[in-house]
């Protein structure tokens, strides 16, 4: 039986671990060929090896890729043309945050958060669009956060950078809507069980403790699981979402409804 993204050619950034690796797993299991990239090149290669072992050689390719590096983006898009034979899905997933009250954040840390989340997404769209436009139908999926819409103390750089990704997504969608077959949407998860949560733990706290604490303030009384966020990526990557562009999907256990 054909998968939901059979024949799609997907580039996923930040796919050495966490959400990016899970997106690659689901897209590959539904028939896509994937190029998984990460600043951690060994981790990206591990993800690709796992998928090739499961779905057959030639399913997945990998690259060491810093999303803040414009030359690296040009090389990775060229690799997509060469290894995948084109590109129809781009998942701008690589991201990071920093903690600290506004008066405490170093400018260098502020800029790093914007560089990885926002510059990385901009460069991905800029350099992948020419190849995406060659596909019969293409989808850009930008991984923002519910933190783009609701805020708490101590994470202003992350809130602002993810809000920029959210608005930028709509701008790309509108630029592409009339004359291209490229759609562009954003995904907004609440806390989801990956290693990124460890950066939020008080010193000495275990991963389980931070997961329990963050989950306790969610209406569903739990954090999200990577496979739950991956379902939204699958939908947006597939032609099932063909009339959807410039939109945002919130996967937050109801948090933003309270
Ligand atoms: N887990 C959550 O609670 C959550 C919630 C909302 C949004 N998000 C977003 O989802 C995305 C994935 O997060 P995750 O939870 O899997 O985190 P993670 O820390 O497990 O994974 C992030 C990946 O990005 C890579 N990366 C970091 N800087 C990079 C760079 N400059 N170039 C290329 N790769 C780089 C890391 O090496 C890592 O593999 C991020 O954009 C994050 O902001 C996560």
158 is catalytic: yes
**23, 73, 122, 158: which one is catalytic?**
158
| Average pLDDT for 142-164 | 97
| Residue 1 banded pLDDT, cuts 50, 70, 90 | low
Q: What pLDDT is stored for residue 200 in this prediction?
A: 74
Residue ranges covered by each domain of the chain: 9-253
Q: What pLDDT is stored for residue 149 in this prediction?
A: 98
Residue 87 Cβ contacting ligand 1 at under 6 Å: no
| Average pLDDT for 232-257 | 98
Fold of 9-253: Rossmann fold (3.40.50)
Residue 189 Cβ contacting ligand 1 at under 6 Å: yes
pLDDT tens digits for range 76-127: 999 999 999 999 999 999 999 999 999 999 999 999 999 999 999 999 999 9
Q: How many CB atoms lie within 10 A of CB 178?
A: 6
Average pLDDT, the chain: 97
Residue 165 Cβ contacting ligand 1 at under 6 Å: no
* pLDDT over 70, % of the chain: 100
Counting from 1 in the atom list of ligand 1, the atom nearest the Cα of 17 is 39
């Amino acid at each position: 039986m054909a998968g939901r993204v059979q024949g799609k050619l997907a580039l996923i950034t930040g796919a050495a671990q966490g959400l990016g690796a899970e997106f690659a797993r689901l897209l590959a299991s539904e028939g896509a060929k994937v190029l998984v990239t990460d600043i951690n090149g060994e981790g990206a290669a591990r993800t690709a090896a796992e998928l090739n072992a499961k779905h057959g050689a030639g399913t997945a390719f990998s690259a060491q890729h810093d999303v803040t590096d414009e030359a690296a983006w040009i090389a990775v898009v060229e690799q997509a043309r060469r290894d995948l034979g084109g590109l129809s899905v781009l998942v701008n997933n690589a991201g990071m945050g920093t903690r600290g009250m506004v008066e405490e954040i170093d400018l260098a840390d502020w800029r790093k958060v914007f560089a990885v989340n926002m510059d990385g997404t901009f460069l991905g769209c800029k350099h992948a669009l020419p190849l995406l436009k060659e596909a019969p139908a293409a989808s850009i999926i930008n991984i923002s956060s519910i933190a783009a819409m609701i805020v708490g103390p101590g994470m202003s750089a992350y809130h602002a950078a993810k809000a920029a990704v959210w608005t930028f997504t709509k701008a790309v969608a509108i630029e592409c809507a009339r004359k291209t077959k490229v759609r562009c949407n954003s995904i907004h998860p609440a806390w989801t069980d990956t290693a990124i949560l460890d950066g939020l733990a008080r010193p000495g706290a275990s991963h389980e403790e931070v997961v329990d604490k963050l989950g306790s303030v969610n209406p569903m009384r739990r954090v999200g699981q990577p496979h739950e966020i991956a379902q939204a990526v699958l939908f947006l990557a597939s032609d099932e979402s063909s009339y959807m562009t410039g939109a945002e999907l919130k996967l937050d256990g109801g948090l933003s409804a309270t």
